[in-house]
Structure 1
Amino acid sequence: MNQGDYVEAATARTAAEVEAFLADRLEESSRVTLRPLTFADAEEFAALTQASAHLHQPWMSLPATPEDYRSYLGRFDHVKAQGLLVCLRDTGAIAGTVFLNDIIRGRFQNASLAYAAFAPTAGKGYMSEGLRLVLGYAFERLLLHRLDAQIQPGNRASLKLVQRHGFRYEGYSPAMLFIDGAWEDHERWALTNDMFGPGPWPPHPSRPAR
């Protein structure tokens, strides 16, 4: 299987899981929906990244060309990482993106959360609504126990977003992640499925019985 086929297969698996989750959870009032990143999004995603550089830098680096975007998709294998788009329900336009990175099963059942809004629709609450859906998807459909988010102290918008959704502050790590050419300090925030509710959900098959 070549790289393109591998990515498309992973994308199809994520799409099926997301569709199954959303089937009975989107309400009439829902302004956004979720879907996986696909090859077809290359031009739009790259253009949105370029238009949103003032929002993302120095906090996050996203692919700003279609070529870089297509290469970037290779990291989302569905099992260890998933890339999701927050899209407006009425137009399909991309409002932001959310990543479930470093998915670890077994006794941890954890994923690292990263996200970014795009400038054309920023400040309208779409990312907050989208993140709420992603949290439900992660806990209810993927049966994760915990999500963590590492956020630079100066990124006030991201800190407010996780606080709004009930994440717990777990500590401060100097020089934790290499971002924009330097090792940056980060605050660590986390949310477990019992904090999210309503639950409880069955354990993932990979979790040990004891």
Structure 2
Amino acid sequence: MFSGGAELPSSLGSGRVGIRLIHRRDARTLERLLRENRAWLEPWEATYPGIPGPTPGEVSLRPTIKRMLRQFDEGRGVPFVITYDGAVVGQLSASDVSRGALWSASVGYWIDAGHAGRNITPTAVALAIDYLFATVGLHRVEICIRPENAASLRIVEKLALRYEGRRLRYIHIDGAWRDHDSFAITREEVSGSMVDRLAPPS
């Protein structure tokens, strides 16, 4: 179990890539990255039907981070930042953590455009899945991706996640209900670690 706001182990890293628990002090850096990557991220951002939302990076992320950390304390999610050579370059969250008869979570992420295509995000996702299986004790992790999001589809391809099917009009993204393809993996499907499935990040 994870609770009490405890730090994630410092060993959550592979080469130059790392993930760690998000801190309130990360807000300013993440806000800057969201502003600088507005055009890059907007097609994949969640929206709320009928409610015009604020532009990411134009409002403080501190309340959002506070909420994420509360969910971490309650065992309902794990909010990470993605780092490269120690610098924050993106964000990754395990959300909808379920116990009971399911023991599952969903993973979502984004990265600075200047760091895309360098195996950083696949490595961060692999580290997160390894943590969720080995430390949190989950049985299943899923990632849902818009069929048009070629970059994200390459991530699940590299990690050899299993395709489970298409969810029609599943999540409100960029102003409309969008189809998503569901990919998943269970602990039984992993021999060794997820990071072992990847080439070293560039």
TM over 0.5: yes
Partner of 1:132: 126
Name stretches of at least 5 consecutive residues in structure 2 with no aligned partner: 47-54, 194-202
SS of the equivalent of 1:98 reads strand
Matching of residues 40-189 of structure 1 within 5 Å: 40-61=25-46, 63-65=56-58, 67=60, 69-73=61-65, 74-76=67-69, 77-78=71-72, 79-88=75-84, 90=85, 92-189=86-183
State the Cα distance separating 1:40 from its structure 2 match.
0.3
CA contact (8 A) 1:48 1:119 kept: no
Letter aligned with residue 56 of structure 1: L
Letter aligned with residue 144 of structure 1: L
| Deviation by residue 1:57-102 (Cα, 9 ceiling, x = unmatched) | 21125842351x11211134211111101112x3x21122111010
The range that moved more, 111-120 or 54-63, is 54-63
| Deviation by residue 1:136-182 (Cα, 9 ceiling, x = unmatched) | 11111111100111111100111110121111110111111111221
CA contact (8 A) 1:166 1:196 kept: no
State the Cα distance separating 1:55 from its structure 2 match.
2.3
**Structure with more of its chain in helix, by fraction:** 1
Name stretches of at least 5 consecutive residues in structure 1 with no aligned partner: 1-8, 200-210
Distance 2:109 2:13 in 1: 21
Letter aligned with residue 160 of structure 1: R
Query: TM-score scaled to structure 2, two decimals?
Result: 0.81
Letter aligned with residue 72 of structure 1: T
Distance 1:98 1:185 in 2: 21
Counting aligned pairs with the same residue, the percent is: 27
Runs of 4+, deviation exceeding 6 Å:
none
Letter aligned with residue 50 of structure 1: R
Letter aligned with residue 100 of structure 1: A
Residue 188 of structure 2 corresponds to residue 194 of structure 1: yes
Letter aligned with residue 81 of structure 2: L
Distance 2:177 2:169 in 1: 5
Aligned length: 179
**What is the RMSD of the two structures over their aligned residues, measured on CA atoms?**
2.0
CA change 1:26–1:151 in 2 (3 A) is closer
Partner of 1:202: none
